[in-house]
């Protein structure tokens, strides 16, 4: 009898195991995979803390305190957790009287965070040291009747320090040694292959995580098990060729028969028999085969906004055996894997430009040039065991889709995401610019470190490459520019650091990425930002990796006026840019301790080295921010920071979109950043609790498929009016633009001018250059009016934008808008687990209301969404839709909703 015994509260799992472990041998023909995810015990090194009944995935922080690490000053107060060593222990029993080594038993740790010792019955199995790597151990001969599995996880802080000291003894310093003091972080993040942001970042807390962040499994098989499948698609005039590669783990050479099912493409399964007589070598354990699909039988997969995201399920069944005479009925030979693919072509076009110097840098999907618009994505949680939360992932990626994004950049300081993340990206049509997990640091180039990296890249790229959402890979974030510009003082040994850089990224990471390299896929970028393929001319370390005429750029300049389009570069592709804003007051109140003062907490969580002035300097250029000693300062700071962030990002994004068909050929704008890991000053458009900042609300308009853009040109003192259209086909009939000029003191336009326009499909129509002197005439001044541009087809509204001729804080004759809000309709719908509350709100005003900001004040509603927010109201009535989920239907009253406008902070002054 071969039986694993579990405690009584795991009775159901024990019954399942009994079903397929019935006699002295490994019976039935399927590979058995058993999750060992329940009833672990966690204890610290001296045994003063012990916790039983632990469920995997798990981390020490989350096991002891849940999400309290995100509250108050717990990022510092709970840091002691990461200074200790912790052990996860699991007990199980096996009856082995008849057990012989007929069946191979494998212990697989799918994710250990980070450095650990693994022991079974006191015998050392191995030392995981890379949280991104799957570790497997043959335990067939180590099993006893009573077994104890121990995973002792070392303090990541001290482990990183010890490794840095060991290199120092060899005369090697690998900077940056420590983060800026404002991070309240820990040192030597680059010594460990773990989420780099877990030691602190300019937007996130230091929570040096440790734990078992993915499943632990026992695997029973004779010789082989499928790990991953990659499918490379090549389109021809008559058909698609599917090049399949099935990646396998094995314990010896084996014979195999592979059955392939594609029920929506082929009526019958395809059986691959080439290895029935010729064994597969365990030194190169994969099986390849090609199959053709007629082109007219395939529906294309398109990015969000351009078509459907058709996905085809594929299933692979491997029968593997070691005996040349074939398997017996009792052998565990069948292993299975299912994936979904999308048929699409993708090209990164880097051709010499017709005007000036440089190369283009744009993507073609299914033969169509597509402007990439979207955001950067960081881990959904600072604790990696929580990063797989399905509800949070769905909310974030749906929010990206809803705001017309078609690409997200998976940033290199985080993690290789869960399978569900990539599945959701596929379903939502979100292409992924995917960094490998190296960011903002130099790294060791020792053989031990490089060997770990090779395994990391190989395992992860084989897992994710088949997804249609994977658009481009980059080996690191900002490390080329950091090296060239000596961000971390590397110039003193420049030659050594350049050599190590090439050894890590070219000889190691790029080499492993060749596993999935194919003519149908863009070649990986060595860094971001970089000069793209032109980097090869400099052996991938260019003098100026931020050259706007090549590749991609990152741009930040906190000391200039971010509302001014002239400060921004004119790049081929902007893959990272943004400005900080504060989460809403309700989120701050939720994360703070009762009666805690918020200003010191905000300052503690402001990790930008410039501090709070990084926001207030821009705010004070344009908005009437009260003095810190004034009573309304805090609420105004939160509100104005969101306006300043939204306006800055809007202006920069619109500039990039407008440059598409100019000599600059800008073809991508990915703002920093979509999401957050806690409540803090940051660049995110969605706060940690899932609430939209004004930036995210506004992005529904400035990323819309059809947009009117009106940007001020400082040199010509004129407004450049452009009409952007991302649609492949567009109706150009009866299109017109209206320019409305409103005085601050009245709702009806003082002047209106309308003219016919057209749209350029999948491009930009450059419509007019209007001198300011033609707009501001007569009694109008830069201080008493605002300008609106509206695009319509007939009477149908398509898009609008506003231009402010002067600083808002200096506006004259601004009146109290006499704004009111009524709840006009309520509706509550039910699903299996939640109530969706829907409200229709009516906002009325008698005078122009600036940046109308709606807040829900109910502390029991942590996340809600409005149809728009932070809007300019120049009409008497505005209808708003409010939606949130709760455990029950909630009856909101007018007192639960707060309205704020900039008007109330402006002194009413005559013209």
Catalytic residues: 478, 576
| Residue found by looking up tokens 């995100």 in the block | 70
Report yes or no: 638 and 707 within 8 Å, Cβ to Cβ: no
Beta strands in 360-430 (DSSP E): 362-365, 368-370, 372-377, 407-410
Cis amide leading into 114 (omega within 30): yes
Q: Which of 411, 369, 673 is nearest to 527 (CA)?
A: 411
> Between 694-702 and 633-658, two packed helices, what is the crossing angle to 10 degrees?
20
Q: Which residues of 516-544 are buried (b: 16+ CB within 10 A; e: fewer)?
A: bbeebbbbbbbbbbbbbbbbeeeebbbee
458 by DSSP, 3-state: which? Answer: helix
| Residue found by looking up tokens 């005369």 in the block | 171
Give whole-number Cα distances, 472 to 251, 468, 858, 896, in Å: 34, 11, 43, 46
Query: What are the contacts of 7-16 at 24+ separation with CB within 8 A?
Result: 7/39, 9/39, 9/53, 10/38, 10/39, 13/38
Report yes or no: 316 and 258 within 8 Å, Cβ to Cβ: yes
- Report the distance separating Cα 218 and Cα 216, nearest Å: 7
> Between 419-428 and 390-402, two packed helices, what is the crossing angle to 10 degrees?
20
Q: What is the CA radius of gyration of the chain?
A: 29
Strand 104-109 with 86-93, pairing: unpaired
Q: Using H for helix, E for strand and C for coil, what is the string for 269-295?
A: CEEECCCCCCCECCCCCEEEEEEEEEH
Cis amide leading into 529 (omega within 30): yes
Q: In what order do the strands lie in the sheet with 58-59?
A: 58-59, 211-212, 112-113
Report yes or no: 857 and 586 within 8 Å, Cβ to Cβ: yes
- Report the distance separating Cα 34 and Cα 387, nearest Å: 23
| Residue found by looking up tokens 């099993």 in the block | 143
């Amino acid at each position: 009898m071969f039986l694993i015994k579990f405690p009584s509260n795991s009775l159901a799992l024990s019954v399942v195991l009994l079903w397929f472990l019935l006699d002295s041998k490994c019976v039935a023909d399927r590979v058995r995979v058993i999750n060992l995810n329940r009833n672990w015990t966690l204890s610290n090194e001296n045994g003063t803390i012990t916790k039983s009944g632990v469920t995997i995935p798990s981390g020490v922080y989350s096991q002891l305190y849940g999400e309290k690490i995100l509250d108050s000053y717990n990022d510092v107060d709970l840091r002691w957790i990461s200074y200790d060593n912790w052990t996860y222990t699991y007990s199980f029993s096996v009856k082995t009287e008849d057990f012989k080594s007929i069946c191979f038993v494998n212990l697989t740790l799918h994710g250990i965070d980070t450095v650990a010792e693994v022991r079974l019955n006191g015998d050392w199995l191995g030392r995981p040291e890379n949280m991104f790597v799957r570790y497997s151990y043959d335990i067939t001969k180590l099993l006893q009747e009573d077994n104890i599995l121990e995973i002792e996880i070392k303090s990541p802080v001290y482990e990183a320090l010890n490794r840095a000291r060991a290199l120092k003894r060899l005369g090697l310093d690998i900077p940056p040694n420590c983060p800026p003091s404002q991070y309240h972080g820990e040192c030597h993040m680059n010594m460990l292959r773990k989420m780099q942001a877990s030691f602190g970042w300019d937007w996130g807390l230091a929570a040096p995580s440790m734990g078992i962040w993915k499943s632990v499994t026992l695997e029973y098989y004779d010789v082989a098990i499928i790990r991953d499948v990659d499918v490379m698609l090549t389109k021809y005039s008559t058909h698609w060729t599917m090049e399949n590669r099935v990646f396998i783990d094995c314990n010896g050479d084996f014979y195999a028969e592979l059955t392939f099912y594609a029920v929506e493409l082929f009526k019958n399964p395809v059986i691959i028999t080439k290895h029935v007589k010729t064994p597969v070598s365990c030194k190169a354990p994969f099986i390849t085969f090609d199959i053709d699909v007629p082109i007219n039988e395939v529906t294309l997969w398109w990015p969000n906004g351009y078509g459907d995201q058709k996905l085809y399920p594929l299933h692979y069944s491997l029968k593997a055996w070691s005996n040349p005479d074939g398997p017996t009925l009792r052998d565990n030979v069948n292993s299975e894997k299912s994936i979904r693919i999308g048929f699409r072509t993708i090209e990164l076009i880097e051709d010499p430009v017709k005007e000036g110097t440089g190369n283009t840098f744009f993507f073609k999907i299914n033969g169509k040039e597509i402007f990439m618009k979207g955001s950067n994505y960081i881990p959904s949680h600072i604790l990696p065991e929580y990063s797989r939360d399905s509800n949070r992932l769905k909310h974030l990626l749906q929010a990206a889709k809803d705001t017309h994004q078609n690409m997200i950049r998976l940033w290199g300081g985080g993690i290789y995401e869960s399978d569900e993340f990539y599945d959701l990206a596929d379903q939502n049509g979100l292409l992924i610019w995917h960094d490998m997990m190296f960011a903002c640091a130099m790294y060791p180039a020792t053989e031990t470190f490089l060997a770990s990296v090779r395994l990391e890249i190989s395992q992860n790229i084989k897992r994710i490459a088949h997804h249609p959402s994977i658009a481009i890979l980059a080996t690191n974030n900002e490390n080329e520019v950091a090296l060239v510009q000596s961000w971390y003082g590397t110039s003193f040994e420049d030659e050594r650091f350049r050599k190590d850089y090439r050894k890590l990224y070219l000889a190691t990471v790029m080499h492993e990425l060749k596993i999935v390299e194919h003519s149908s896929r863009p070649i990986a970028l060595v860094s971001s930002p970089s000069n793209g393929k032109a980097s090869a001319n400099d052996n991938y370390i260019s003098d100026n990796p931020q050259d706007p005429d090549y590749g991609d750029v990152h741009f930040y300049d906190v000391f200039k006026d971010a509302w001014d389009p002239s400060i921004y570069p004119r790049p081929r592709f902007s893959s990272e840019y943004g400005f900080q804003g504060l989460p809403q007051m309700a989120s701050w109140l939720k994360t703070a301790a009762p009666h805690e003062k918020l200003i010191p907490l905000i300052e503690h969580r402001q990790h930008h080295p410039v501090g709070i002035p990084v926001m207030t300097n821009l705010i004070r250029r344009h908005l009437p921010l009260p003095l810190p000693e004034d009573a309304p300062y805090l609420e105004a700071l939160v509100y104005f920071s969101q306006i300043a962030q939204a306006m800055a990002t809007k202006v920069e994004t619109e500039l990039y979109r407008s440059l598409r068909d100019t000599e600059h050929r800008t073809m991508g704008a990915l703002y920093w950043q979509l999401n957050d890991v806690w409540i803090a000053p940051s660049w995110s458009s969605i706060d940690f609790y899932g609430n939209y900042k004004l930036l995210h609300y506004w992005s529904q308009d400035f990323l819309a498929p059809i947009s009117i853009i009106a940007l001020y040109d400082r040199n010509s003192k004129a407004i450049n009016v452009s009409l952007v259209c991302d649609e492949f086909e567009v109706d150009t009939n009866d299109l017109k633009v209206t320019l409305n000029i409103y005085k601050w003191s009245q709702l009806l336009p003082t002047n209106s001018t309308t003219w016919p326009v057209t749209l350029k499909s999948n491009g930009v129509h450059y419509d007019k250059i209007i001198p300011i002197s033609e707009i501001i005439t007569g009694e109008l001044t830069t201080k008493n009016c605002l300008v609106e541009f509206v695009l319509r087809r007939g009477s149908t509204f398509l898009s609008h934008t506003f231009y402010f001729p002067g600083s808002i804080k200096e506006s004259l004759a601004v009146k109290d808008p006499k704004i009111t809000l009524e709840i006009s309709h309520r509706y509550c719908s039910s699903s299996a687990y939640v109530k969706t509350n829907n409200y229709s709100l009516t906002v009325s005003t008698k005078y122009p209301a600036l940046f109308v900001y709606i807040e829900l004040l109910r502390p029991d509603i942590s996340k809600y969404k409005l149809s728009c927010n932070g809007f300019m109201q120049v009409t008497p009535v505005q209808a708003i839709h409010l939606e949130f989920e709760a455990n029950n239907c909630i009856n909101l009253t007018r007192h639960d909703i707060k309205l704020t406008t900039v008007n109330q902070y402006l002194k009413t002054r005559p013209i």
